[in-house]
Amino acid sequence: MTRLTVVGVQADLAWEDRDANLAMFDREVDRAAAIGADLVVLPEMFPSGFSMATDVTAEPAEGPSATFLVERAAATGAWLVGSFACADGGDDGRPTNRLLLAGPDGTVHHYDKVHPFSHAGEDQHFAPGRATRIVDVAGVRVAPFVCYDLRFANVFWSLGPDVDLFVVPANWPSPRRAHWRTLLRARAIENQAWVVGLNRVGVGRTIDGRDLEYSGDSMVVDPLGEVVASAAGQPTLLVATVDTDRVAEVRDRFRFLPDRRFSADLS
């Protein structure tokens, strides 16, 4: 059996203030490491909040936020996950909402958010990613997604049988908090895999300058859809242990995945 202690940093982000956010997460990553974290998950766009002002927030692929993740992973011995506005990520010259998964040995994997959130204008400022990823994290098969991706079951289904743990950093607003909580459990049940959903708290802004509240509601869900750890609406560390035996046990007991059919199978 392979186990990972996962620590999610549910935090209030300083709007478009990279220096303040990196300083705060520096302390929080130390706290996570002190309680034995193997994998530390930060919110979506952790350096800035969910800002569409890419002229202010976008940075190079190996800029300060990526460097932060890589250096803190090396210093703590834990894997780190978080996304930021990557200036040189898109095929069309636009930034991508890039998630990095940085390992303590210097290994770095990236995933560019496949589904920019058109409802908030993200698709006008960010290019979509073109590929999904599965990363071996100390023997656990981890697939990262970002926020709005959670609404699209097909991308989770396409990877499901080969994944032990889905990780979903987010900036998911309070008005749709019921959707967030329901969809996290649904993705776990459908794929018989662990799901870690890590959301922010506090207040950000919409593309037209209005305040937008975030309720947190971060959670860890097991392969049967049971919530094993959850957080409310305050900054906190979400802690849980995930293990590959639980995935194997559920999939062996309930052999649902082999029955899955895609549209291509029905033609």
Q: Which residue in 59, 86, 113, 122 is the catalytic one?
A: 113
Backbone dihedral angles phi then psi of residue 86, each to the nearest 5 degrees: -95, 115
Asked if 147 is an active-site residue, the reply is yes
Asked if 249 is an active-site residue, the reply is no
**Looking up tokens 């052999």, which residue turns up?**
255
DSSP 88-119: T--TTSS-EEEEEEE-TTS-EEEEE-SS--GG
> How far is 156 from 163, CA to CA, in rounded Å?
9
Structure tokens at 64: 């300060």
| H or E segment and range at residue 24 | helix 18-34
DSSP 190-225: HHTSEEEEE--EEEEE-TTS-EEEEE---EEE-TTS
> Dihedral (C-alpha) 155, 116, 194, 134: value to the nearest 10 degrees?
60
Classified as helix, coil or strand, 209 is: coil
Which of 203, 122, 161 lies closest to 112, judged by CA? Answer: 122
Q: Which residue in 28, 59, 86, 147 is the catalytic one?
A: 147
Asked if 44 is an active-site residue, the reply is yes
Classified as helix, coil or strand, 73 is: helix
Q: Which residue in 44, 59, 86, 122 is the catalytic one?
A: 44
By annotation, the residues acting in catalysis are 44, 113, 147
